[in-house]
Homo-oligomer: A and B are copies of this chain.
Amino acid sequence: MAHTLDFYFDFSSPYGYMASTQIDDLAHELGRTVNWYPILLGPMFKTMGSAPLVDIPLKGQYARHDFARTAQLFDIPYTTPSPFPIATVAAARATIAVREQHGMQQAGELAKALLKTYFAQGNDISQWPAIHDTASALGLDAEQIQSATQTDAIKNQLKTDVDQAMQRGVFGSPFVWIDNEGFWGFDRLPHVKMWAGKNQA
């Protein structure tokens, strides 16, 4: 617990993707490892009476432009994916299945690879073929992962993860918890580092 950093993200979140390309380095700098928690923004937006960013007037247009611009500023490979946004239940369950079977580090590798598949290569990870290809490229058994995602155990684990995230105060993607402090947004990663510098032993 003391030496981890909890990283919450939705697989359809561009800023979540961008953060996923930096979170390992940040954790390493702080002497921590990353816990990868895929979440579903849908239930959270319901609680907030909110909507997907790109569907909000004024803000949506800005966001689409800012995704590409931010990626460019930070030299992160990015393509505007289509369709967007997408359903992320399958990708989230697949990540949790790998976590249960192979541990957190492998789950993180799959999560990063899936985000890249969608946001760097533009392949739709709401569909199993793209998830299969990505998992297989990591040497994982894609068929077996897909089977696991059909089980109640994995389905319930995702629900539990999302519920616990919301109870903790997570309402967007990406969200980083370090000790008892939560930080929302790709642009808050520098704040995580500043906070740790001031507050860590």
Question: Which B residue's beta carbon lies closest to that of A61?
Answer: B169
Q: Are B49 and A182 in contact (CB under 8 A)?
A: no
Q: Are B73 and A44 in contact (CB under 8 A)?
A: no
- A47 lies within 8 A of chain B by Cβ: yes
Q: Are B171 and A58 in contact (CB under 8 A)?
A: yes
Question: Which B residue's beta carbon lies closest to that of A56?
Answer: B48
- A191 lies within 8 A of chain B by Cβ: yes
- When distances are taken between beta carbons in the complex, the residues of chain B under 8 Å from A66 are 184
Question: Which B residue's beta carbon lies closest to that of A187?
Answer: B187
Q: Are A58 and B62 in contact (CB under 8 A)?
A: no
Instruction: Contacts A187-B185, A187-B187, A188-B187 given; indicate if A58 touches B69 (C-beta within 8 A).
Output: no
In the complex, which residues 64-107 of chain A have their Cβ closer than 8 Å to any Cβ of chain B?
66, 69-70, 72-73
In the complex, which residues 20-59 of chain A have their Cβ closer than 8 Å to any Cβ of chain B?
44, 47-50, 56-59
- When distances are taken between beta carbons in the complex, the residues of chain B under 8 Å from A188 are 187
CA distance A185 to B48 in the complex (A): 20
CA distance A188 to B171 in the complex (A): 20
Partner of A59, one of B48, B59, B62, B72: B48
Instruction: Contacts A181-B69, A191-B73 given; indicate if A57 touches B62 (C-beta within 8 A).
Output: no
- When distances are taken between beta carbons in the complex, the residues of chain B under 8 Å from A72 are 198
Question: Which B residue's beta carbon lies closest to that of A44?
Answer: B58
Most buried by B among A49, A73, A166, A188: A73
Instruction: Contacts A73-B194, A187-B185, A191-B187 given; indicate if A57 touches B47 (C-beta within 8 A).
Output: yes
Question: Which B residue's beta carbon lies closest to that of A185?
Answer: B187
Closest-CB distance, A148 to chain B (whole angstroms)? 31
- When distances are taken between beta carbons in the complex, the residues of chain B under 8 Å from A49 are 56-57
- When distances are taken between beta carbons in the complex, the residues of chain B under 8 Å from A62 are 169, 171, 182, 184
